[in-house]
Structures are given as structure tokens and as C-alpha cells.
Amino acid sequence: MTDIASTTQRRLIAEQLRVPSTFDAATEIERRVVFLADRLVDAGLSTLVLGISGGVDSTTAGRLCQLAVERARQAGHPATFVAMRLPYGVQADEHHAQAALAFIRPDRVLTVDVKPASDAALAALLAGGLTFADAAAQDFVLGNVKARQRMIAQYAVAGATAGLVVGTDHAAEAATGFFTKYGDGAADVVPLTGLTKRRVRALAETLGAPADLVGKPPTADLESLAPGRLDEDALGLTYEQIDDYLEGRPVPAEVAERLEARYRATDHKRQPPIAP
Ligand SMILES: Nc1ncnc2c1ncn2[C@@H]1O[C@H](COP(=O)(O)OP(=O)(O)OC[C@H]2O[C@@H]([n+]3cccc(C(=O)O)c3)[C@H](O)[C@@H]2O)[C@@H](O)[C@H]1O
Ligand SMILES: Nc1ncnc2c1ncn2[C@@H]1O[C@H](COP(=O)(O)OP(=O)(O)OP(=O)(O)O)[C@@H](O)[C@H]1O
Ligand SMILES: [Mg+2]
């Protein structure tokens, strides 16, 4: 179990990721809805833009966005939520994405297939002479291209609609650096900041999301050679372990060490570009 040295380190990480020591789902929902509405109005913009995958993070953030634009409209500001479906071709769990949209009830749904642009980017790189160590390495890089194509699509919509791009980064993903730099890691506002995965689920449940979405096993679903690969499999850590660590509950020493090593190695993803 954790010793005193790693307790200090854990506190520092939890503080840097803004994980509060106490938690109340209803309070956090209200605070984050007000945050989104205020940021939109203060920026003088009129849309929130977010990709809806069918996972619990975008289900939760999407509902917060819809509540925020309704709040802004009640206060007399023009505000619209644009939910984006961004499949790579046909998405295996499309029914979950549709269930998420039915729950969120967004003002507008805009669908962009990121497959043609992602595949064209890869083809151009190969034609330009880029080589990969093996098929798995190529597939991994293509996965990050998919995440960045989603970013391009969302920023195009934000640019055309006076919008802000919403990100779904939260404490458990930020701690492990488990996101694509300038892909899903790129956003203007990040309403789930500081939440552990179980707290994201608690928000989803309190918001009334369907149980199968609240409890859905997280997947980045970026690798064509390993469709629907679970985050926990890729990370070698469970979200229960990551959440326990961040919330100050006891975890085995080797879990703390692995997490802290990931945290250090991915520091560059949580910072602005390095300058001299
Ligand atoms: N020390 C350093 N200082 C400054 N920059 C550094 C660096 N080390 C790498 N870099 C840069 O960072 C790049 C690597 O970062 P990146 O391109 O993100 O790539 P990388 O971290 O290798 O891969 C992204 C990981 O996040 C996962 N992911 C992505 C998207 C969504 C989700 C999800 O949960 O939904 C998960 C994905 O499955 C994969 O495991 C390097 O190519 C380099 O450009
Ligand atoms: N197929 C997709 N369609 C639309 N948006 C997507 C898609 N895949 C990923 N995204 C966007 O990228 C974000 C990061 O993906 P991530 O997998 O971390 O979140 P999630 O799918 O919402 O939840 P979970 O982590 O539990 O799977 C999503 O929240 C969503 O905004
Ligand atoms: Mg997902």
C-alpha cells in the first residue's frame, strides 16, 4: 500500500489535476453548467461544439452542454449546442452513440465521417515515403490521425458557427496522458476537469443517463486492428485504481509507481509547447 513519500506525490498530482477532496454530483453539475454558459456568453460566441461517441464522457459533457445553452438562452443570449457524430466509417457501437444523442437531446446533430480524410492523410504520408516499423505501428499512428481529424472537424464547425470546442478531458485521463495530443486533447473549454472516472459516471447517473451508458467500459476505439480495445487493457491500469489513487484511497505501491511514471512521461501533453 502507499507510503508517506508517495502520499505527498499523490497529493501534488491530485492538486495539479484539480481533484477536490469532497464531491457532490448535483453541485458539480450546476457548477459546470454555469461555467459553460458563462464562458460562451463572456466570449461573445453562440455555439458549443462536441463530438458524441457513445462513451460516458461525451454523454455527460454533451448533456452539460445542452443544459448550458438552454440556460444561456433563458438569460437572453443566442446559444446553440451542436453535437457531432464523428465515426470512422461504420462505428460498431453506433447504437450507443444514438442512445447518447437521445439522452442529450442536442439542438443540432452534425455528422462527419472522418474515414476519408484519415485514410487520405495516411495514403499521402506513405506516398511521401514515410515507413512504419510494422502494421501495428502504422495502425497506432492512424488512430491518432483519426483523433486529430475529429479535432479538425470540430474546429471547422466552431469557426463557421461562432463556437467553442468542448473537450472531455478529466482527471483520470489527464493523469495517465491517455489522449491524443492536439487531437481529443485540443479544446477551448474542458467542463469535466478534475473529475475521476467514477465521478464522471456519478454525474451521468444524476443527469439521468441510461444505465448501459453510465456503466459502459471506456474505449478510445482508435485502432482498426484492435476495434473497441478497452482503455484499461491499453493502460495496464484500471480506472478503479486510477480513481482510488487520485481520491486518496489506498492503492498497492506498484500501482502508484506505474501511475506516477505515466504522469511524468506524459507531462508534455498537459503543458503548452516547450519553448527555449
Ligand atoms: N518528452 C516530450 N516532450 C515534448 N513532446 C513530446 C515528448 N514526448 C513525446 N512528445 C510528442 O508527443 C507525441 C506523442 O503524443 P500523441 O501523439 O498523443 O501519441 P501517444 O501518446 O503515443 O498516443 C496517444 C495515446 O492516447 C490514447 N488515446 C488517444 C485518443 C483518445 C483516447 C481515449 O481515451 O479516448 C485515448 C491512444 O490510444 C494512445 O494510447 C510525440 O509524437 C511527440 O510529438
Ligand atoms: N466516434 C466518435 N464520434 C464523435 N466523437 C468522438 C468519437 N470518438 C471520440 N470522440 C470524441 O473524443 C472524445 C475522447 O474519447 P473518449 O473515448 O476519451 O471519451 P468517450 O468515448 O466519450 O468516453 P470513454 O472514455 O468512456 O470511452 C470523446 O469524448 C468525443 O468527444
Ligand atoms: Mg470512448
Pocket perturbation via mutation, ligand 2, pick of 52, 53, 184 by most ligand atoms within 8 A of CB? 53
Query: What is the value of ipTM here, to two decimals?
Result: 0.99
Query: For residue 110, what is the enclosing H or E element?
Result: strand 108-111
The model's pLDDT over 132-153, given as tens digits with 9 standing for 90+, comes to 999 999 999 999 999 999 999 9
- Tell me, using a 6 A CB cutoff, whether residue 149 lines ligand 1: no
Which of 3-12, 20-29, 42-51, 179-188 is predicted least confidently? 3-12
Q: How many CB atoms lie within 10 A of CB 247?
A: 18
Query: Of all atoms in ligand 2, which is nearest to the CA of residue 58?
Result: 22
Q: Compute the distance from residue 264 Cα to the ligand 1 centre, in Å.
A: 13
Pocket perturbation via mutation, ligand 2, pick of 56, 57, 113 by most ligand atoms within 8 A of CB? 57
Mean local confidence (pLDDT), 58-71: 99
Residue 9 near residue 260 (C-beta atoms within 8 A) = yes
- Tell me, using a 6 A CB cutoff, whether residue 219 lines ligand 2: yes
Give the pLDDT confidence score for residue 7 in this predicted structure.
Answer: 87
Give the pLDDT confidence score for residue 47 in this predicted structure.
Answer: 98
- Tell me, using a 6 A CB cutoff, whether residue 53 lines ligand 2: yes
Closest ligand to C-alpha of residue 51 is 2
Mean local confidence (pLDDT), 257-266: 97
Q: Is 57 a catalytic residue?
A: yes
Query: For residue 35, what is the enclosing H or E element?
Result: helix 25-42
Q: Which residue is it, cell 472516472?
A: 197
The mean predicted confidence, pLDDT, of the chain is 97
The model's pLDDT over 106-134, given as tens digits with 9 standing for 90+, comes to 999 999 999 999 999 999 999 999 999 99
DSSP class of residue 268?
Answer: G
Instruction: Tell me the C-alpha distance between 74 and 67, whole Å.
Output: 11
When pLDDT is cut at 50, 70 and 90, the band that residue 3 belongs to is low
First to last CA, the chain: 40
Q: Is 212 a catalytic residue?
A: no
Closest ligand to C-alpha of residue 149 is 2
Identify the active-site residue in 28, 42, 169, 173.
173
Give me the count of residues in the chain: 276
Packing angle, helices 239-246 and 253-265, rounded to 10: 90
Q: Tell me: is residue 118 an annotated ligand-binding position.
A: no
Q: Compute the distance from residue 30 Cα to the ligand 1 centre, in Å.
A: 32
Q: Exposed/middle/buried for 15, CB within 10 Å: 0-12, 13-18, 19+?
A: exposed
The model's pLDDT over 75-100, given as tens digits with 9 standing for 90+, comes to 999 999 999 999 999 999 999 999 99
Give the pLDDT confidence score for residue 2 in this predicted structure.
Answer: 56
Give the pLDDT confidence score for residue 5 in this predicted structure.
Answer: 58
- Tell me, using a 6 A CB cutoff, whether residue 229 lines ligand 1: no
pTM: 0.97
Q: Which residues are registered as beta bridge partners of 224?
A: none
Closest ligand to C-alpha of residue 65 is 2
pLDDT above 90: residue 1: no
Q: Compute the distance from residue 126 Cα to the ligand 2 centre, in Å.
A: 27
Percent of the chain whose predicted confidence (pLDDT) is above 90: 97
